[in-house]
Amino acid sequence: MQPSQKMGMESNEPLTPAGRLFVQPATELVINCVLGIDQSVGLETVHSVVSNSLIVKHPRFTSLLVTDKHGRERWKRVDIELDRHIIFVPDPVNDDNSDDDDEVAVNDYLANLTVSCPLSTDKPLWEMHVLDAHKCVVIRFHHALGDGVSLLSLLLTTCRRVSDGEKVPTVETTSSAVRNSREGAGICGWLKMMWLTLVYMVEFCMTCLWVRDKETVVRGGAGVELWPRKLATAKFSLDDMKTVKSAVVNATINDILFGVISSGLSRYLENHSTKPLREGLQITGAAMVNLRKSSGLQETTELMNKNSGSRWGNKFGMMLLPVYYHARGSDPLQYVKRAKIMIDNKKLSLEAFLSYKIGYFIMKCLGARFASLLNYRIICNTTFTISNLVGPKERIMIAGIPVTYIRATSSSLAHAITMHMVSYAGKADMQILVAKDIIPHPEILAKYFEDALLEMKEAALAAKLPAKCPQNSG
């Protein structure tokens, strides 16, 4: 039996509808995952790790993207040549700017990849850049191969825990938050769900066609995906997020994240806008929502099972998640409370599920080009992209070398801001990819996000302090 059949996939099979969407010129996407490592690693070690991993046995990673005589894209199995996929860069990538630290240099390298370096179609659609001088590995996957959950789950099969070198990393398998929000709903809950679904789907369709965000200093538009990029990293502590979470009843990490984004964008608009701002100005984000039965990373064997509800591939819907400009007030937690109300309503609706199903229907009936056009219009009519992926809870290592961070970003979109957050071992790093002609200093925006979380943490701690009783006199 061929490896592809053992892993639940056949060779020479057609692309899925979602896969066909991601190979269209307007919506083609490459995922760039960065693993920081504790020390430099040689080319031989990289070859050894990859050649002994599931990556070289996986049908998607050993297949060419080809077009048959009917014009349909298919996967064609080939013998893989590792030397064509592993790019070893021994020297610093910013020789002309020796004052840059590793993070700045790596982010500059990634920013260049996101707009000017598509993956070659004469080999399987992935590659690995080893930046030896900066102690990191950049792994690039075409989105047609799978989504972030699939790809990171596969990647972690090559890793082991630092605390126990024999055990694979712990993966999060909590129930889907979208599904949980509807469980136990009575008649009133179901009526509310149907009403919210109707409202949000009408808004979704209107955004597809003509409704767009107001012009601001952070909004992109058609053609912006071709503009040069800059990349900055916002770093958060999950303990800080949990402290804020405990101060807002039934809040989630996603509520905290959107509160932080709302606060940070409000501060950026306030400090950099050249026109007066209206209180409550809407800034809409396009969020990718995992539709698998579990919200976190999956076991790879489960993902490869065709009968599994957590199957391999691209299985996500889209939600339009608006945040609003608000001048800074006395309570930073108000940003979280407003975000929580919005997200709770969104999770109660069927917006993400229906966006997936409608997209699938359009792909099947009207073709990939039309579906790509609609997706491109949604991006052009909104302001930012956001995704949040839960990574390993404990520290991990590859070939005995500890991993210091996990970050991810994608190729450029018509948005001027694209944000991808990945949590790992108590920390969360958010990559902020921007069109540098619109947002020339993304590090300022990253600082606003970090400061917003710290302000919320201080407010949460202050709210827990008991009120001081006046002392008796005499």
∠36-41-46 over CA atoms, to 5°?
A: 95
CA-to-CA distance for 86 and 55, rounded, in angstroms?
A: 13
Residue 293: exposure state from Cβ atoms within 10 A (0-12, 13-18, ≥19) = middle
| Catalytic-role residue among 85, 134, 142, 143 | 143
Residue 358: exposure state from Cβ atoms within 10 A (0-12, 13-18, ≥19) = middle
Q: Note whether 416 and 220 are within 8 A (CB).
A: yes
CA-to-CA distance for 436 and 434, rounded, in angstroms?
A: 6
Tokens representing 386?
Answer: 């956001």
Pairing relationship of beta strands 396-398 and 384-390 according to DSSP bridges:
unpaired
Beta carbons within 8 Å of 273's beta carbon, 6+ residues apart: 216, 217
Name which of 314, 322, 434 is nearest 381 in CA terms: 322
Tokens representing 388?
Answer: 């949040």
85 an active-site residue? no
CA-to-CA distance for 383 and 212, rounded, in angstroms?
A: 9
Which residues are designated catalytic? Answer: 143
